[in-house]
Structure 1
Amino acid sequence: MNRFDDAEIAAVYKVIAERRDMRHFLPDPLDPALLERVLQAAHMAPSVGFMQPWRFIRITDTDLRLKMHALVEEERVNTAQALGEREDAFMRLKVEGIRDCGELLVVALMDRRDAHIFGRRTLPEMDLCSVACAIQNMWLAARAEGIGMGWVSLFDPLALSQLLRIPADAKPLAILCLGKVEAFYPRPMLELEGWAKRQSLHDLVSENTWCDGNSAVINQPIEGKRDA
């Protein structure tokens, strides 16, 4: 009796499968009520110890948006140089839509996180995992609403913190581009561009002990393997 109906279940799996990290946007503004719904979806995410470590900064100043774009462009060049033989291929990729998107947000880890011990004593990075869950909620909600979202991680966290006056013990994790799009990519953009391809799930799942992708122990459907 706790199960959703078939149409609702299908919708969940559909939005997961069709979520895309978008880079191409239309400049049209978003309805404030729509932005509120997407942010509320983020705020409904699970969090370690219910600490709710996400903080959102909405960027409405055009000059600030351009300064953020400059930070990303600087890191884009540095990343390209670090990639060595793939530098030229990387530089041909579109990696952000900061100047084009209808809404620009920065998501950061809260300050004073050390006060939260529940679930973080041995895995302090669980606060970061919690923020990632919030961002995924946003992504799925945005896709269901028919708007694109792109997660930009090419920036120096300290430089962005200084620009936005983020406290020293907080940390920006994402620049999020949200907005209307002409169309969603039929497959992930980096797959379409030949940068990488999705791995086989069965190469990434093992049973009881660690196995790498070349010696995965699962050679039959996951549901077909059970303890005796």
Structure 2
Amino acid sequence: MGAIVMVAGGVFLLLNFRRTNRNTKTADLSGADLSGADLINANLSGTNLSGANLINANLSGADLSSANLSGADLINANLSGTNLRGANLRYANLSGVNLRYANLSCANLKYANLSDADLNCTLLSDANLSDANLSGALLFFVNSREVQNLEPLQLQAQHKPFLCNVALPSYSHQPKVNPNRDCDRIPQLLSDRYNISLEEAQGIVNEARQHRWD
């Protein structure tokens, strides 16, 4: 009965959002329980989702540009291909999140938890990563030269992020950080995460390493 009530509540919130979104430029879903919600390709631009429960939600391909996700819980959510340009993700819990091909340009990720997140081919231009937790995150084929406030200590934490073919800001090289230090481990990670053969994963890594950042 509790599960039915939870689902019904989630449906009500989504229907209410859709009605609100037709009449206003933004909607308020702050604190909403949308855990496990299917929001593929949803238009949530500018929406207030601060403190929302989005654990295991599927937001792939959604438009969350300029959305307020501060303090939101997005553990293991699917944000692949999601537009998060200019989004506020301060203190958001993005642990284990799939951000593959997501656009995080100009996003505020200050104090965000990105531990074990998948940042494969993620756009990070002008994103603020001040004090963000990158422990165990997958940073593969990423240009982070224009990232704001990415400190060397974030890349040298006890549980280091995995780096392969990453363009690092010049200040992140002190102390020296090898942007390809984990390329030999990436194929196994890709194989496990994307359920592909190790051979296919190795081919993806080999192809990616042919790219030279300007």
Normalised by the length of structure 1, the TM-score is: 0.23
Normalised by the length of structure 2, the TM-score is: 0.24
Q: Which has the bigger relative contact order, CA under 8 A and spacing at least 6?
A: 1
Q: By percentage of residues, which structure has more strand?
A: 1
Q: By percentage of residues, which structure has more helix?
A: 1
